[in-house]
Structure 1
Amino acid sequence: MHRKSQITIRIKRIYQQLFLFGLLAVLVVACNQSSVSETSTSTNCPMVDHVAGETCVPLNPERVVVLGVPTLANALALGIKPVGSILYFDKTSSPSYLEGKLDGIELVGTGNQPNLEKILILEPDLIIAMNDSGLSYDQMSQIAPTVVDNWYGYSDWKEHFNFVAEVLGKTEESKQVWAHYEQRIQELRAALGDHYQDTEVSFVRVCCGRLATDVKNSFSGMILDDVGLSRPSAQDVEVKGGLVFLSEELITDMDGDIIFVVVDEGDDDAQKMFEQLQQKPLWNKLKAVQQGRVYTVNLQTWRGGNPLAAYAVIDDLFKYLVDNEQK
């Protein structure tokens, strides 16, 4: 009986040893697979530094959600159509530069109020957000790899485009976009010639119960500067965010040989405010008003903050500064 017990004990030990050897083999294989997986991930999933940290971004993402209209237009300019985006306007009243380009893109929120559930339903493989998108990085990164860019106003539009291009792996395509922008700028410069050398171009925004101007380091201001057009001294400044608010008492700060006015088409109060402004005695003393050179342009275009909107602004400058002069 004692001998049988010893044999049983030996058999158990053998089985234990075999189990341990097997377990060790499994762990070695797992570690090797993990190593291979990490190597594969680092190769096929480049790391991108952003304001919220560092994210491994998939190559050639197919289901991108963007939380910003400039980000949306940047992706479109680079040949990527997101599956979802927020909008700052109604789809039916989208600016002309986005006409026909929003089909098939799901609306996941308006303004800075994205809907987490709608984003989740889209099953994105990448989320590109701004630092004012309205959702926390933790919330978004639990759904998909997420990158967040600094956005402190439309003065950052060129840097934001380059960031989106890097995230999407479209740096070569971005060079083509900038080349086309530079080509359009040079074409406009050539068409203007020296005719506007001493002409000051003013920009007035009527929105949200206030008057404002986009100054030198704003989206439209940077385009005007690239074209070589001068601004009134009160607007020829750089401030954080590129936006300066004006008071009706300082209407002379809006003066210029030409005035471009943007009125939020969806804001009845803004329309009324602009009508009231036109009744002011000081308004009718402005040079551009007296010469009939006040032009109303689209707010979403002139504050678009992306290359597609920039092309549309250049189209407007051709329309009002070149075509009008030839009539």
Structure 2
Amino acid sequence: MPRFRTATLAIGATALLLTGCATISAPTDTPAASDAAAGATDSFPVTIEHALGETTIDEAPERVAAIAWSNQDVALALGVVPVGMDTQVWNWTGDADLGVYEWTQDAIDELGGPQPVIFSSVDGVDFEAIADTDPDVILAAQSGLTDEDYATLSEIAPVVAYPDVAWFTPWRETITMNAKALGRSAQGEQLIADIEQQIADATAGSDFAGKTAAFFYASAADVSTMSIYTGGDSRTALLQDLGFDLPQVAIDAAAGGSFYQDFSAENADQLADVDVIVSYGDETLLPALQADPLWNTIPAVKNGAVVTVGSGDALSAAVSPTALSLPWVLDDYVALLEDAAAKVQ
């Protein structure tokens, strides 16, 4: 997994708002298993093309495993409780408990469980734990699987990998690919339409048009460098969904296949067309940036149009949009962005 995506979701992991815990094994016949196949409406077999090859799923899957980020939320939003899923704690140090965020746990509870096995992603893909859940399909449409990962997982079950570039899968395509794998394409299309309507309702009257915004990683403790998440990354792409334009640097870097780009303070002028900065961090970030004579030349910093979303807590995770986190965070996030947009001059 690329370093910034891992690191930024791991900061403050012990403070994460989590529910649920790891289990040892999954029974071979569960409500989740029977419901998964029963709700399929597509004809099988289905074939899904992706960056790592082509995957054919012969029959409607009964046992669904989901790995990496957001894939489990698609299954849950479509009425399927996975038999196993990756922990949502992106913590490479191993000192945080395995668990899931509340929007995911709420969906598991609403569907009547049972609680999925939670795979540890501390040391990469947990092949043995995934195999132990005996899945019929492995959802990984939003992931960073390597060729080797994909080959090993494919010995366990058919794998739905990312469509083009690792970690670049938009939330809509994550839904579309995973829904097809579950035999629920029509339900997936409706889910996308429902979320788009929620976005339209939440942003009605917002003054985002004509303003640029991007998501950043910055630290008040060290403002020598800021990193921008490019237009290919789901965090910045969500800002475009909400009505902002993207700054040119985010567009250009995404075209080169990068989901982030570092900028030193000496190159602050390259971010001059960013009207609103959204970043991990807390209320100490803006004063630190404004105290720096280079960063304070950026209009977003000078005007105070900076939104911080925390580090490692639920809000900071929810802005990496999933089928469940996006509805959960939408109203609060839009309110924060409206406050920042009002400061743009």
TM-score band, normalised by shorter chain: 0.5 to 0.7
Residue of 191, 216, 221 corresponding to 1:204 = 216
Q: Which residue of 1 aligns with 2:145?
A: 133
Rounded to whole Å, the distance in 1 between the matches of 2:168 and 2:138 is: 23
SS of residue paired to 2:249: coil
Deviation readout 1:87-112 (Å, 9 max, x if unpaired): 35156785554354567121222157
Larger Rg computed on CA atoms? 1
State the number of aligned residues: 273
SS of residue paired to 2:250: coil
Answer yes or no: is the 8 Å Cα contact 1:202–1:254 preserved in 2. Answer: no
Answer yes or no: is the 8 Å Cα contact 2:144–2:166 preserved in 1. Answer: no
Answer yes or no: is the 8 Å Cα contact 1:71–1:164 preserved in 2. Answer: yes
Further displaced range: 172-181 or 312-321: 312-321
What displacement does 1:229 show?
1.5
Rounded to whole Å, the distance in 2 between the matches of 1:58 and 1:214 is: 38
Rounded to whole Å, the distance in 2 between the matches of 1:101 and 1:276 is: 39
Matched, 1:170 2:184: yes
Q: Which residue of 1 aligns with 2:45?
A: 46
**Which amino acid in structure 2 is aligned with residue 220 of structure 1?**
R
SS of residue paired to 1:113: coil
SS of residue paired to 2:278: strand
What displacement does 1:177 show?
1.1
Superposed CA RMSD:
3.7
Q: Which residue of 1 aligns with 2:265?
A: 248
Deviation readout 1:262-295 (Å, 9 max, x if unpaired): 24x9xxxxx9999965652223344333433321
> Aligned in 2, Cα 1:257/1:233: closer, same or farther, shift over 3 Å?
same
Q: Greater helix share, 1 or 2?
A: 1
- The within-5 A match list for 1:1-327 is 45-50=44-49, 51-59=52-60, 61-87=61-87, 89=89, 95=101, 97-98=103-104, 100-101=106-107, 104-110=115-121, 113-129=124-140, 132-133=144-145, 136-150=149-163, 152-157=165-170, 158-192=172-206, 195-206=207-218, 211-237=226-252, 238-239=254-255, 240-255=257-272, 256-263=274-281, 279-297=291-309, 298-304=315-321, 306-312=322-328, 314-322=330-338
Residue identity over aligned pairs, in percent, reads: 23
Answer yes or no: is the 8 Å Cα contact 1:78–1:170 preserved in 2. Answer: yes
What displacement does 1:151 show?
5.2
What displacement does 1:296 show?
0.7
Deviation readout 1:206-240 (Å, 9 max, x if unpaired): 38x96321233432333322333133343344422
> Aligned in 2, Cα 1:93/1:259: closer, same or farther, shift over 3 Å?
farther
Unaligned runs of 5+ in 2: 1-41, 90-95, 110-114, 310-314
Rounded to whole Å, the distance in 2 between the matches of 1:155 and 1:132 is: 9
Rounded to whole Å, the distance in 2 between the matches of 1:128 and 1:230 is: 31
SS of residue paired to 2:205: helix
> Aligned in 2, Cα 1:92/1:222: closer, same or farther, shift over 3 Å?
same
**Which amino acid in structure 1 is aligned with residue 308 of structure 2?**
T
Q: Which residue of 1 aligns with 2:8?
A: none
Q: Which residue of 2 aligns with 1:40?
A: none
Structure of higher RCO (CA pairs closer than 8 Å, 6+ residues apart): 2
Deviation readout 1:146-166 (Å, 9 max, x if unpaired): 443435244322323211110
Answer yes or no: is the 8 Å Cα contact 1:216–1:242 preserved in 2. Answer: yes
Answer yes or no: is the 8 Å Cα contact 2:137–2:158 preserved in 1. Answer: yes
TM-score w.r.t. length of structure 1: 0.68
What displacement does 1:204 show?
1.5
Unaligned runs of 5+ in 1: 1-42, 266-270
Deviation readout 1:129-155 (Å, 9 max, x if unpaired): 357436544433333344434352443
Q: Which residue of 1 aligns with 2:28?
A: none
Answer yes or no: is the 8 Å Cα contact 1:86–1:107 preserved in 2. Answer: yes
Rounded to whole Å, the distance in 2 between the matches of 1:227 and 1:324 is: 14
